[in-house]
Amino acid sequence: MMFALFSLIQKQRHKYGWLCLTLILLTVSGVQAQVGAGGIPFSFQRNLPDAVPTVQMPQVDVAIYLAEDANVSKDEPFRFGAPIEVHYTLENSGQWTTLPDGSRIWRLRISSPGAYSINLLYDAFYLPEGAELFLYNDRQTQVIGAFTSANNWIDGTGATQPLAGDATTLEYFEPASVAGHGRISISRVVHAYRNVFGYRNHLDDYGDSGTCNNNVNCPEGLPWQNEKRSVALIIDQGFRLCTGSLINNTSNNFTPYFLTANHCIESSDETHWVFVFNYESPGCDNQNVPTNQTVSNAILRSTNAASDFALLQLSTNIPEAYHPYFNGWSRIDTPSTNSCAIHHPEGDIKKISFDNNPTTSDRYLGSSGVAGSHWKITTWDDGTTEGGSSGSPLFDQNHRIIGQLHGGYAACGNTLSDWYGKFAMSWAYGTSASTRLRDWLDPANTGVWTLDGIDPTVAGRIGGVVVDPYGDPLSGVRVHVIDSTQETTTNALGEYMLALPSGTFHLEFTKFGYQHMVQNNVTVVQNDTVWVNVVMAAVPAGILAGTVTTQDGTPLQNASVFISGTPYDTMQTDEYGHFFVELPATSYSVHVLFSAATNPPLNVRTDTTLTVLPGDTTHATVILYISLIEPAGPDAYGYRAYDRYDRDLPAPYDWIELDPSFGAPGMPFSFTASDSSAILTAPFPLTFYGGSSDTLTVNANGWLLPGIHRETGSVNSPIPYNAGNDPAGIIAPFWDRMQVGLGNQQFTWYDSRFHRWILEFTAQRVLNPTNRLQNWQVHFLDPVFYPTRTGDCEILFIYSRMDHLTDCTIGIENPNEQSGLQLLYNSALNTTCWPIEDGAAIRFTTGRSSESGGVTVSLTLYPAAPDLSGATIFMAGCAITANAENAFVHESVPAVSAAAMLFFAGYEAARISGIPVQPNVMNQAAMEAWRLDPPSQLYASQYDGIVTLSWRKPESILAAPNPDARYAVYRNGTRIAQSLADTVFTDEVQPNGQEATYRVVTQYRYGVSAPSDSVHLVIDLAADENISALPAVYALHPAYPNPFNPSATLAYDLPRAGRVSINLYNVNGQRVATLVDNVQAAGFYHVMWNAAGQPSGMYLAVFESGGHRFVQKMLLLK
């Protein structure tokens, strides 16, 4: 709102912060700023009772307040008044007088003896339509109002400014039609014990800023008379002061944008600000000036602490009576040759300061914040800045804003420096409209680097609306005055307005994708607006579908694509190297840049011309010639590492989400502690550096080893490395000291469709700092379907998040520790590699063959199958089916060390590897497979709760012995034994009366049979089970199960009482457990051993009693 503000502001004691007063100013306001409606209080014109009820405030002990103030440090708020909490309302105080027409007047006088002034705060303030409120002092020399419904503020509270003297009268008029609707509740009376406003001493307290300052209307300020009109004093909540400036935007539409400092709005409600314009002495000397040209309330549009700027939009347009000016700006990051500042130091009248030397690019105070974020004024040549100057504009030699005051040490009497947040950094340093200037000050994205100021008080205007042929408004149309720098853009409603002097002008209307329009001979008349409405039709357009690739045809992701002559920002290509944009049909200059943090850094650019056809999609490929397209390696074995952009076999970024919380199929696995390992069973043989394993050791520190291993490796080392205890033959997607139990997750899944085994690691935290997260996957590709020259697996590392690469190793190592591929070690990137970053991928392979040879596979089945039409042998990525003679022949198989796998319903999926396929000849291979027959003739017997099972070998094994076949036993659906070579099994003792159903399956090397027929029985102990039945001999029965994981049961018989010991030893003869060591009575016993803490391997159970000694082997398989 606009209101009659007190005329003088007291000096503050804190440099560059907010100027602090305890006064809260008038903040009642509507959506638009308003002045008091004027007029004369009713009681000044009519005869009303002279006596007005008075409430007197308690005595203020000024001495105590002054004593407290004497101890206040300079960086604390300056206090001028004593707050007195009250509760006076229209209902509980004052006096109502009813007029003949039914209207009413309420009056209340508030007295606080000895006060220089009194001001009031309201916790409820609402004036209905037609109601008026005046306030005046006893001598009626100062009257404010009338306040009306236009002064109601959104939160229902308010305040009124100080009135001179020690008594204030409120006079509220309420029409009969709205009787009882008004709300006035006074919550605080402020007794001014300091004469900060000079109410009794004229100018004695006026002009308290430093004496070296220049009034803006002194001769040195004459060249800056336009710019000064934009600068305003900011008063927040009545006790904090800053400075700021109106600022122009490329639409030249007088939007009341206001630039100030970020630290001026911290922890503040900018909707309760008051902006005081033209608070300046009319001449060079200090002269009393009015402070009634104000606007209250604003919206915060953007702010950023890096350059300490805040951009506000005032709640209303600036009245022409204020003669506002909207300053121009420059976002060129080049030092000015000289500088000028216009500001309100210490809340004083407007001052102007000059520096005749170039500014210096610096960080705040020379040591704080972002480098290059501020302009440094080394020393002021004329004038200075003080508290309250914060946020004031810094102008260059062209009268354009280049920054706003953040802070510094300058003052009268010294030659110290000030720092201004750079407009150039504020322009686009932020990542969104709320943290940068460009979205607001260049709404049409014209891209201009400088903009001059604009004066809305010139002679006349041109305005209008621009629409398309359907009548829909067109926003962002550039309206330019030909042969002039004057231009604007249309708003969301298609409207525009240009301020111009009298004369005749030619206008052009341009918008990307629309016809170019010109309107000639538009005459502008003084104090008038001429309207020019325009219809613009869209021009034919097409789609440009581009692809950016290397010279090898590999798509380049995150290449920057800029198309000249368009309003579009620079585009980034997607993972396929694609970019898409709709453009008017014509030719364009296209600029493509690709950069990467390689060693050394890579920057490649090309420029080309592409033509877009109307109503069609133009497909175009832009090729960047990149030198870094060769893989790392080979190492001594033949492995190479391919990045995303390497030629021949680029690694695809193929992240397959496994987390079940996202509906993915992964199975979780975990680590028990830091530096611990999980042992996983591979879905196919893992062939790595010529070795093969069905298991994989996965360590919590980000490395893997085929097979079962107990090595630890918390401290990463180079690859290769054989001088320490680091794991040999490591696969290291991210080898670092990692933490567990802090949200890290691991999943595994076999993708049977694409024949790859995927391990996923997410939220992996390094030991320090723990807030850096890494996400990666490892893909093992089955050589049957992805052939390599040596028959080894291809391995892919996929990275979706990489936050900390300082202390890790990435690569693979030969188990002989003599060779390998190191891509990264402790931040040092292999010079042939692309950066390990989000979206990176690496393929390790021994290569593929471009040659081929023929293969004939001899397939032997047990038992033989008369019809092989349903059988398929996959070999080296080729599918081979039986021909009419039941022969498996393929004429073109890659010339590699091939692996093959059989798919034939009912038979095991037999595999062979190491098939040497020679080029250009017919090669021979042989395979055999057994039908997946289950055991037959399952029989069960029991004695005293002990069940013994026996069965007949499967028919396929009877046809031909299978040395790899084993058996697994299930009781009531639970597997109780596996990997049994014999066809007889004795179960452990079961409780009397328990029902048991047994089945047996055959475990072939490459598959498992269906279950055998079942046998069902009820456990029946001997009828004389309560009579001691003693064994006849000493015995140690076979352990059950065996092999086991992690527990097994040992049963033993004692024909007579005596000492018994059972000890467990590893293969090195070390005793690892004692199960029994005491005297026992004769009888049947059993004891369980839990080997959870022991590694996999062979163990010996030694039973000793009565001079007898029995030894039994036990195999622990984890």
Question: Which residues, 6 or more positions from 492, have their beta carbon under 8 angstroms from its beta carbon?
Answer: 473, 475
Q: Range with the lowest mean pLDDT among 158-162, 399-403, 659-663? A: 158-162
- Are 522 and 460 in contact by the 8 Å Cβ rule? The answer is no
Q: In the Cβ-directed half-sphere of 14, how many Cα atoms lie within 13 Å? A: 18
Helix (H) or strand (E) holding 1017: strand 1015-1018
pLDDT at 33: 35
CB atoms within 10 A of CB 554: 18
Structure tokens at 909: 């999926």
The tens digit of pLDDT for each residue in 263-296 reads 888 544 444 577 889 988 888 987 766 656 777 6
CB atoms within 10 A of CB 866: 5
What average pLDDT does this structure show over 641-661? 92
**Could you tell me the pLDDT band of residue 105, with boundaries at 50, 70 and 90?**
very high
Burial track 446-485 (b if 16+ CB lie within 10 A, e otherwise): eeeeebbbbbbeeebbbbbbbbeeeeeebbbbbbbbeeee
The tens digit of pLDDT for each residue in 716-773 reads 999 999 876 778 999 999 999 999 888 899 999 999 999 999 999 999 999 888 888 9
215-451 and 459-535 share one CATH topology?
no
DSSP 922: E
Question: Which residues, 6 or more positions from 445, have their beta carbon under 8 angstroms from its beta carbon?
Answer: 438, 476, 567, 569
CB atoms within 10 A of CB 196: 24
CB atoms within 10 A of CB 676: 14
**Backbone φ and ψ of 449, nearest 5°:** -95, -25
Q: Tokens 């709640």 appear where? A: 315
Q: In the Cβ-directed half-sphere of 468, how many Cα atoms lie within 13 Å? A: 12
What are the domain boundaries of the chain?
Answer: 42-192, 215-451, 459-535, 541-624, 640-845, 852-930, 936-1019, 1035-1116
Structure tokens at 151: 């002064």
Distance, CA of 288 to CA of 279 (rounded, Å): 10
The tens digit of pLDDT for each residue in 135-176 reads 999 988 888 878 888 767 666 777 676 678 899 999 999 999
What share of the chain has pLDDT > 90, as a percent? 62
541-624 fold: Immunoglobulin-like (2.60.40)
pLDDT at 268: 46
CA 591 to chain centre: 29
The CA radius of gyration of the chain, in Å to the nearest whole number, is 45
Q: Which amino acid is residue 9, in one-letter code?
A: I
Distance, CA of 293 to CA of 327 (rounded, Å): 19
- Are 468 and 459 in contact by the 8 Å Cβ rule? The answer is no
What average pLDDT does this structure show over 1001-1029? 78
Q: Tokens 């810094």 appear where? A: 394
**Per-residue pLDDT at 68 exceeds 90:** no
What average pLDDT does this structure show over 468-478? 94
Between vectors from CA 597 to CA 595 and to CA 600, what angle results, nearest 5°? Answer: 100
Residue among 209, 427, 232 nearest 343 (CA): 232
Q: Which amino acid is residue 309, in one-letter code?
A: F
Burial category of 68 from C-beta neighbours within 10 Å (exposed 0-12, middle 13-18, buried 19 and up): exposed
Residue among 570, 332, 321 nearest 451 (CA): 332
Q: Which CATH class is domain 936-1019?
A: mainly beta
pLDDT at 943: 76
Burial track 596-630 (b if 16+ CB lie within 10 A, e otherwise): bebbeebebeeeeeeebeeeeeeeeebbbebebbe
Higher local confidence (pLDDT), 457 or 1014? 1014
Residues labelled catalytic: 263, 308, 390
Q: In the Cβ-directed half-sphere of 238, how many Cα atoms lie within 13 Å? A: 22
1035-1116 fold: Immunoglobulin-like (2.60.40)
Three-class SS state of 248: coil
Q: Range with the lowest mean pLDDT among 73-77, 287-291, 647-651, 708-712? A: 73-77
pLDDT at 270: 46
The tens digit of pLDDT for each residue in 617-626 reads 999 999 998 8
**Could you tell me the pLDDT band of residue 380, with boundaries at 50, 70 and 90?**
very high
Question: Which residues, 6 or more positions from 822, have their beta carbon under 8 angstroms from its beta carbon?
Answer: 718, 719, 720, 809, 810, 811, 830
Q: Tokens 């391990």 appear where? A: 759
CA 950 to chain centre: 64
- Top mean-pLDDT range of 46-50, 312-316, 857-861: 857-861
Q: In the Cβ-directed half-sphere of 1090, how many Cα atoms lie within 13 Å? A: 2
Average pLDDT for the chain: 87
**Per-residue pLDDT at 2 exceeds 60:** no
**Per-residue pLDDT at 455 exceeds 70:** yes
pLDDT at 201: 41
**Per-residue pLDDT at 99 exceeds 60:** yes
Structure tokens at 828: 């040092």
What average pLDDT does this structure show over 453-467? 86
pLDDT at 1025: 37
**Backbone φ and ψ of 961, nearest 5°:** -55, 140
DSSP 321: G
> Yes or no: is domain 852-930 CATH 3.40.50.2020?
no
Strands 54-56, 104-111: pairing kind: parallel
**Per-residue pLDDT at 204 exceeds 70:** no
What average pLDDT does this structure show over 1000-1023? 88
The tens digit of pLDDT for each residue in 671-699 reads 988 889 999 999 999 999 999 999 999 99
pLDDT at 271: 46
pLDDT at 13: 26
Partner residues linked to 360 by β-bridges? 376
Residue among 968, 962, 970, 964 nearest 980 (CA): 968
Residue among 137, 143, 87 nearest 116 (CA): 137
Higher local confidence (pLDDT), 461 or 472? 472
Structure tokens at 892: 């073109």
**Per-residue pLDDT at 556 exceeds 70:** yes
Distance, CA of 671 to CA of 676 (rounded, Å): 6
pTM: 0.52
**Per-residue pLDDT at 447 exceeds 80:** yes
The tens digit of pLDDT for each residue in 826-880 reads 989 998 888 899 999 999 999 999 999 999 999 999 999 989 999 999 999 999 9
Helix ranges, 94-200 (H)? none
Three-class SS state of 661: helix
The tens digit of pLDDT for each residue in 219-263 reads 999 999 999 999 998 865 444 568 999 999 987 778 999 999 998
Partner residues linked to 584 by β-bridges? 541
> Yes or no: is domain 215-451 CATH 3.40.50.150?
no
- Are 832 and 630 in contact by the 8 Å Cβ rule? The answer is yes
The tens digit of pLDDT for each residue in 1033-1051 reads 899 988 888 898 888 888 8
- Enter the CATH code of domain 459-535: 2.60.40.1120
Q: Which CATH superfamily is domain 42-192 in?
A: Spermadhesin, CUB domain (2.60.120.290)
Q: Range with the lowest mean pLDDT among 20-29, 392-401, 1064-1073? A: 20-29
pLDDT at 1028: 41
The tens digit of pLDDT for each residue in 953-978 reads 999 999 899 999 999 999 999 999 99
pLDDT at 1063: 96
